[in-house]
Structure 1
């Protein structure tokens, strides 16, 4: 599933290509992609003629502020937003099409069909229909992500730290890849009980979360499977990952083979030597 860096990369690309453009028309090809409203006709007719003011990212959600209302998108596991020419070959799993002037199109392609679209026709907060936004914790780059906040979230938890980091109500946007990476950089074993972490460890982990997310954004995200930029280009972070996806390969620090375990049903990569 695309995580914060991948969604941020898409958000920045969308702002470069579609800001100030008017959605001329829309077509929903798979009805269940539309989470709100429940009428395809209402969506297609209502969003036509709306100008995209700016795209925002909240956690793993994309939110387009329109001249009136909001458009919300969640890529989920395999969703891709591609900026293409309207006359280009239609991908097999295209679910939604937004049409613009000069023969351009924003095309939503989603193999697994878990991705969702929301359209709010008035200027109420997008949380009123995109209910998942209500459950999100602080953004990792925000001033609210303080040591005090993080320590408070961890101190009473008996969950392992890897599972806690995947909880979007704690820190929004961190997922499997970057939880592993941050835990490696902070020298913490993924199965450590969150409430047992000492303040110096919490400080290191907070810094590592910010650093690995920033590094991945600069690399354009990670393309392990389905993620693509809006122009169809792969992200480059995978080639420099510390541990994720590197089971059996030598640690970039100590040369010990990277190991893998299951935590909360998720594959978790770590270095047995560097993490304790």
Structure 2
């Protein structure tokens, strides 16, 4: 599943490619790709004729402002969640869509933005201007602070995790604790911080939480700089793989020597997710 760095990479690609993009036509090939009220018809009516404005990211959600191309008046927003395998593709000239294509959008020049989703869990929303975004994209209500925000710090984590008996790995995967982190970067940041993933979240002390906050931000920034991680499906808007996977310290390196001490990397399932760590470097 795309995590924060992958979604941020897509956001930047969309922001760059869709400057002055006016949606001339839209085709929904799979109704379940539209999660907002009114379904595909409302999405088509809401997006058609609109100029795509600034893109923002909240956790793993993407949101684009929609504007009247003549007056610049804001006419609502277009929301997207890639889920497990969703990806956008840019097609400057006509091409036949693959069978996993869910939504197609064109401008007057015939250039196409295509949403492809192998597993079909990705979702889109149209939110009119006079409606609260959170009321339609309800998952936004449950998100914790962004890792790069001032609200995300060791003191916050200490209060949020106080008394928690679940593993710190499970806590990092909880979007209500921190928005955008996922399996890859939880493993990588815990390794960088020297914290074993199975430790109880409520037992970590303040210095450990300070290290964890710093390491999570550092790992995420490094991955964003590398264009995210591709281990299976993720591609950016131009079809390019993310490059962070080759820099991973523990994720998917089961049995390989730890880059710090040489001990074989171990793997087990925690909270239903594969977890990778070094039994010597992480305590």
Q: TM-score range by the shorter chain?
A: over 0.9
Q: Structure 2 unaligned runs (5+)? A: 68-74
- Kindly tell me: are residues 48 and 221 of structure 1, through their superposed partners in 2, closer, same or farther at Cα, counting changes over 3 Å? same
- The whole-number CA distance in structure 2 between the counterparts of 1:40 and 1:176 is 32
Which residue in 1 is equivalent to 2:147?
140
Instruction: Judge conservation of contact 2:191–2:278 (CA < 8 Å) in 1.
Output: yes
CA shift for structure 1 position 89: 2.8
Which runs of 4 or more aligned residues in structure 1 lie more than 4 Å from their structure 2 counterparts after TM superposition? Answer: none
- Kindly tell me: are residues 185 and 120 of structure 1, through their superposed partners in 2, closer, same or farther at Cα, counting changes over 3 Å? same
Q: Give the number of aligned pairs.
A: 276
Alignment of 1:199-238 (within 5 A): 199-238=206-245
- The whole-number CA distance in structure 2 between the counterparts of 1:267 and 1:31 is 32
Which residue in 2 is equivalent to 1:197?
204
Instruction: Establish whether residue 163 from structure 1 lines up as the match of residue 175 from structure 2.
Output: no
Q: TM-score, normalization: structure 2?
A: 0.95
Which residue in 1 is equivalent to 2:50?
50
Secondary structure in 2 aligned to 1:235? coil
Instruction: Establish whether residue 172 from structure 1 lines up as the match of residue 172 from structure 2.
Output: no
- The one of 236, 240, 263 aligned to 1:256: 263
- The whole-number CA distance in structure 1 between the counterparts of 2:132 and 2:38 is 19
Alignment of 1:45-194 (within 5 A): 45-67=45-67, 68-194=75-201
Which residue in 1 is equivalent to 2:72?
none
Q: CA RMSD in A?
A: 1.1
CA shift for structure 1 position 99: 0.9
Which residue in 1 is equivalent to 2:251?
244
- Kindly tell me: are residues 106 and 56 of structure 1, through their superposed partners in 2, closer, same or farther at Cα, counting changes over 3 Å? same
Q: Structure 1 unaligned runs (5+)? A: none
- The whole-number CA distance in structure 1 between the counterparts of 2:42 and 2:162 is 47
- The whole-number CA distance in structure 1 between the counterparts of 2:155 and 2:228 is 29
Instruction: Judge conservation of contact 1:29–1:95 (CA < 8 Å) in 2.
Output: yes
Secondary structure in 2 aligned to 1:69? strand
Q: What is the CA deviation profile of residues 208-254 of structure 1, one whole-angstrom value per residue up to 9, with x for unaligned ones? A: 11000000000000001110001100000000001001101111111
Instruction: Judge conservation of contact 1:70–1:123 (CA < 8 Å) in 2.
Output: no
CA shift for structure 1 position 123: 4.5
CA shift for structure 1 position 150: 1.5
CA shift for structure 1 position 158: 1.1
Which residue in 2 is equivalent to 1:266?
273
- The whole-number CA distance in structure 1 between the counterparts of 2:142 and 2:174 is 10
- The whole-number CA distance in structure 2 between the counterparts of 1:168 and 1:231 is 28
- The whole-number CA distance in structure 1 between the counterparts of 2:65 and 2:221 is 24
- The whole-number CA distance in structure 1 between the counterparts of 2:38 and 2:258 is 50
Q: What is the CA deviation profile of residues 181-225 of structure 1, one whole-angstrom value per residue up to 9, with x for unaligned ones? A: 000000000000011111111110000110000000000000011
Q: What is the CA deviation profile of residues 22-53 of structure 1, one whole-angstrom value per residue up to 9, with x for unaligned ones? A: 11111100001110133322221221111111
CA shift for structure 1 position 85: 2.6
